Amino acid sequence: MNPAVTETVNDSIFAHDHHLPGQKLPTDIPEDLLRKTPLNLPNASELDVLRHYTRLSQKNFSIDTQFYPLGSCTMKYNPRIAHALASLPGFARLHPDTPAPAMQGLLQVLWELQEWLAAATGMAAVSLTPAAGAQGELAGVAMIRAYHLARGDTGRNKMLIPTAAHGTNPASAQMAGFEVIEIPNLPDGDLDMAALDAHLGPDVAGIMLTNPSTLGVFERRIAEIARHVHAAGGLLYYDGANLNAILGRVQPGQMGFDVMHLNLHKTFATPHGGGGPGAGAVAVQERLRPFLPLPTVLQEPHGALRWMSIEDLPQSIGQLSAHGGNIGVLLRAHAYLRRLGRSGVGRVSAYAALNANYLLKELQRLGYQAAFPERRASHEFILSVSDLHKATGVRALDVAKRLLDFGIHAPTIYFPQLVPECLLIEPTETESKATLDRFVAVMAQIRQEALEQPELLREAPHHLPVGRLDEALAARKLDVSAAPE
């Protein structure tokens, strides 16, 4: 990035705005159905468009250009081969209503991915259709609801969720018609079993858990939790956001989970794309198979593959999008998994954990405070800069913004909310020791700066295309679209 260059250029595509003069329109569409307001979109030369968007791309941090230790998001390398293969014309030009015999190649890929994800998670069956983690959660809790209702167990309208859970968990449960009950965590990071037991009962449909939890530590009593929830007639939902921590080593199915989603854009290295598209495949134990969202891919006894319909799965919770989900993302996840294979998958969690624990130790050595110093880090860990805040007024936000000046994307900050002034750091397995060591050196310098010249941090970033933005003004005057020039 070179701010000196980007700042001198007029970066408004709207400078090319142009009203069309009245165009001769076809005569057989009635006049009252035709466009009345002239369409005003820029009419720029292709070269001007190319330059504009190339320059905009250069104002982004990305995995391909920067270390991106954004906790909970698993910003690992997105292999380019996966993009190349998903873009092959034989996939890219395939219309969704192509009859199954003419799309066996695609169906084969999807069917294999279903099988492999089931094997990797220790679950019985998979549906690939959810478009993102949150849609997978919605599908998952809807399956829990459908399961209870199908058994005539109609009183289970509550979903238990740890206080530290991702915001999507309560939002998804609410969208599926559940009342959300929050369960606190203990100071050591594990779930408060007494609080859990106090809430379990005939009105509880289930519990949604992430393991390792959002606190960056493994929920050690998971087997006991599963026993208690099952004994009370509830089911366990596994939020796959942190699956990278245990991939190839611990299976959610074996921990006692009944249903889960996987964030293929985290664990399976598909790109985050500036905010999607993701893919939130769901996996279930046998007793939830009848409720899977449609469509999924079925292999006929003679080997041919086809989409399953509602006739095949009459108790399905239904369809979540118009077609089969984010298939281009699924193709990428398949390529990644096929490239890694059995032994490669096992190494993912091992090196993700190694990088996280190494970074934690090195940062502790500099004086940074771990939120759970007695605990082993999973694939990520939480620091709290409360001590710096008290001593210098510098906040987690300021540390995050200063990191940007060094060409490092900030960790997740202020999540989970129960740890004050926290940074959630997830290096992922694809980063080298050299990159981690540079991060440690930068964090050492930032700590020094915080103690000696805290205003340097409070006013950061200094070297980006813009400084801290007036977000209050943004909400107040709410300019969310450009008026035609």
Partner 1 sequence: MPYIPHDAEETAAMLAAVGVNSLDALFDEIPSSLQVHDMVLPEGLSEMALRRELEGRALANAPLVCFAGGGAYAHHIPAIVWEIAARGEFYSAYTPYQPEASQGTLQVLYEYQSFITRLTGLEVSNASLYDGASGLAEACLMALRIQGSEKSILVPENLLPSWRSVLDTVLGMQNIRLQAVPYDPNSGTLQIPGDASDAAALIVPQINAFGLLESVDKLTDWAHAQGLLTIAVVNPLALAMLKAPGDWGGKGADMAVGEGQPMGIPLTGGGPYFGFLACRKTHVRQLPGRLVAKTVDAQGRTGYCLTLQAREQHIRRGKATSNICTNQGLMVTAATIHMATLGSHGLQETASCCHTRSRQLRELLAALPGVSFPYAGAFFHEWVLRLPMSATAVRDALLGHGLLAGIPLREWEMGEPGDLLVCTTELLEEADLLTYRDALKSVLEAQ
Chain residues 135-194 in contact with partner 1, contact rule CB under 8 A:
135, 137-138, 142, 145, 166-168, 170-177, 180
Chosen residue from 5, 9, 25, 198 binding partner 1 by CB under 8 A: 25
Length of the chain in residues, anyone?
485
Q: Which amino acid is at 238?
A: Y
Tokens of 230: 């099952």
Q: 272 to 301, contacts with partner 1 by CB under 8 A?
A: 272-278, 293
The answer to whether the Cα torsion of 103, 105, 106, 112 is positive or negative is: positive
Phi and psi at 403, nearest 5°, equal -55, -35
Chosen residue from 131, 298, 308, 418 binding partner 1 by CB under 8 A: 131
Chosen residue from 71, 113, 120, 281 binding partner 1 by CB under 8 A: 120
Q: 353 to 372, contacts with partner 1 by CB under 8 A?
A: 353-355, 357-358, 361-362
Distance of closest approach, residue 260 Cβ to partner 1, in angstroms = 15
Long-range contacts of the stretch 161-164 (C-beta < 8 A, 24+): 161/207, 161/208, 162/191, 162/209, 162/210, 162/213, 162/214, 163/418, 164/213, 164/214, 164/215, 164/416, 164/417, 164/418
CA distances for 18 relative to 8, 34, 42, 484, angstroms: 24, 20, 6, 8
Residue with Cβ nearer partner 1 (390 or 462): 462
Distance of closest approach, residue 305 Cβ to partner 1, in angstroms = 11
Residue with Cβ nearer partner 1 (341 or 451): 341
**Among the residue ranges 198-206, 232-240, 284-292, 337-345, the one whose residues contact partner 1 (CB under 8 A):** 337-345
Contact 214, 416 (CB under 8 A): yes
Q: 394 to 453, contacts with partner 1 by CB under 8 A?
A: 400-401, 404, 409-410, 412, 415, 429-433
Cα–Cα distance for residue pair 372/381, rounded to 1 Å: 8
Residue with Cβ nearer partner 1 (64 or 312): 64
Q: Does 302 bind partner 1 (CB under 8 A)?
A: no
Residue with Cβ nearer partner 1 (112 or 192): 112
Cα–Cα distance for residue pair 441/194, rounded to 1 Å: 43
Q: 255 to 274, contacts with partner 1 by CB under 8 A?
A: 255, 265, 269, 271-274
Residue with Cβ nearer partner 1 (106 or 262): 106
Distance of closest approach, residue 198 Cβ to partner 1, in angstroms = 20
Cα–Cα distance for residue pair 238/288, rounded to 1 Å: 14
The answer to whether the Cα torsion of 315, 316, 319, 323 is positive or negative is: negative
Q: Which amino acid is at 212?
A: P
Binding mask 32-51 for partner 1 (x = CB under 8 A): xxxxxxxxxxxxx-x--xx-
Chosen residue from 5, 15, 92, 304 binding partner 1 by CB under 8 A: 92
Residue with Cβ nearer partner 1 (202 or 467): 467
Q: 444 to 473, contacts with partner 1 by CB under 8 A?
A: 459, 461, 464-471, 473
Distance of closest approach, residue 398 Cβ to partner 1, in angstroms = 13
Tokens of 443: 């964090």
Binding mask 200-239 for partner 1 (x = CB under 8 A): -----------------xx-x-xx----------------
Q: Give all strands of the β-sheet with 158-162 in edge-to-edge order.
A: 125-127, 282-284, 259-262, 235-240, 204-209, 158-162, 179-183
Q: 58 to 87, contacts with partner 1 by CB under 8 A?
A: 58-66, 68, 70, 73, 75-79, 81, 83-87
Residue with Cβ nearer partner 1 (95 or 302): 95
Tokens of 457: 């941090």
Chosen residue from 8, 10, 154, 343 binding partner 1 by CB under 8 A: 343
Q: Please write down the HEC assignment for all residues of 389-418.
A: HHHHCCCHHHHHHHHHHCCECCCEECCCCC
What is the Rg, in whole angstroms, of the alpha carbon atoms belonging to the chain?
Answer: 25
Give the residue among 315, 345, 285, 337 at the shortest CA–CA distance from 126: 285
**Among the residue ranges 19-27, 194-202, 386-394, 444-452, the one whose residues contact partner 1 (CB under 8 A):** 19-27
Distance of closest approach, residue 185 Cβ to partner 1, in angstroms = 15
**Among the residue ranges 103-111, 148-156, 198-206, 446-454, the one whose residues contact partner 1 (CB under 8 A):** 103-111
